[in-house]
Amino acid sequence: MPTFTAPAGSRVTMKVRVDKRPYLAGFQTPPNNSNWENITPDADGMGESREFVMPAAPGEQVSFNGQYDEKIGSSDPDPKATYTITFSSGGGDRVVVPKDMGPVAREYTFTAR
């Protein structure tokens, strides 16, 4: 379970990209103790951006689950999908989903500082 910190009251942007089509990621809606805002799919269909606002009080948390999956053809020489997740507050995650092994779940927790 990746954990992060971000300034209290700040806006955090999450960017998610996959290295091969299709983009099959989903996120708990709404996140615990916040809401998703400005959800924007990437023009090339290979990812998205979304934002949430941290709580105003230091020590309070925002958390959410992510699910990452794949739909890789049987003749693919590299039978996995790799998701790269970055956060504007710093840090990120990398999720590798081998063929027929998805979805892979992650829970993210952000603590206000």
Read off the pLDDT of residues 63-109 as tens digits, 9 standing for 90 and up. 999 999 999 999 999 999 999 999 999 999 999 999 999 999 999 99
**Max Cα-Cα span within the chain:** 51
> Are β-strands 37-41 and 104-112 bridged in parallel, bridged antiparallel, or unpaired?
unpaired
SS3 content of the chain, % helix, strand, coil (to 5): 0, 55, 45
Length of the chain: 113
Domains in the chain (CATH in brackets) are: 3-112 (2.60.40)
In this predicted structure, the answer to whether residue 1 has a pLDDT above a threshold of 90 is no
66 CB burial (10 A radius; 0-12, 13-18, 19+): buried
How is residue 41 written in tokens?
């799919």
Query: pTM for the complete prediction?
Result: 0.95
